Amino acid sequence: MAGSSFRRRKSVRGIVLQGGFLALIAAVVIGATLTARDTLAKQGLTSGFGFLRKATGWEMNFSLLPTTTSDPYWWYLLMGLLNTLFMGVIGLTGASVLGLVVGLMRSGRNPAARLLATLYIELFRNLPLILQLFFWYAMANALPAPRQSLEIGRALVNARGIYLPGLAIGPGTVALAILAVAVGACVAIWVLAARRFRRMEPQRQRRLSLAALGAGLALAAVAVLAGHEPGTAWTSWPALAGLKVDGGFRVQPEVYALAIAIMTYGAAYVGEIVRGGFKAVGRGQMEAAAALGLSPWQIFSRVRMPLAFRAMLPILINQYVWLIKATTLGIAVGFSDFFMVIASSINHSGQTFEFIAILMGGFLLINFTLAAVLNRLNRAIALKGHQTTGVQ
Over residues 259-269, the pLDDT tens digits come to: 999 999 999 99
**Does 214 score more than 60 pLDDT?**
yes
What does the mean pLDDT of the chain come to? Answer: 82
Report yes or no: 219 and 185 within 8 Å, Cβ to Cβ. Answer: no
Percentages helix, strand, coil for the chain (3-state, rounded to 5) are 70, 5, 25
Give the CA dihedral 205, 211, 217, 220, nearest 10 degrees. Answer: -120
Q: Which of 30-39, 55-64, 302-311 shows the lowest mean pLDDT across its residues?
A: 30-39
Label residue 351 by pLDDT band (50, 70, 90): confident
Q: Long-range contacts: 373-381, Cβ < 8 Å, 24+?
A: 373/186, 374/313, 374/316, 374/317, 374/320, 375/317, 376/193, 376/194, 377/189, 377/193, 377/313, 378/313, 378/314, 378/317, 380/193, 380/194, 380/195, 381/193, 381/306, 381/309, 381/310, 381/313
Predicted pLDDT at 354: 85
The residue ranges of every structural domain in the chain are 73-129+253-381
Predicted pLDDT at 123: 92
For 188-207, what is each residue's pLDDT tens digit?
777 776 666 667 777 777 78
Measure the CA–CA gap between 267 and 124, rounded to whole angstroms. 9
Predicted pLDDT at 392: 46
Considering the chain, what percentage of its residues have pLDDT values greater than 70? 84
Report yes or no: 299 and 360 within 8 Å, Cβ to Cβ. Answer: no
For 223-258, what is each residue's pLDDT tens digit?
777 766 666 666 777 878 777 787 777 888 999 999
**In CATH, what is the architecture of 73-129+253-381?**
Orthogonal Bundle (1.10)
Report yes or no: 262 and 87 within 8 Å, Cβ to Cβ. Answer: yes
Average pLDDT over residues 82-92: 90
383 vs 154, more confident:
154
Average pLDDT over residues 333-355: 87
Which element (helix H / strand E) includes 196? none
Report yes or no: 94 and 86 within 8 Å, Cβ to Cβ. Answer: no
What residues contact 59, with CB distance under 8 A and at least 6 apart?
A: 67, 68, 69
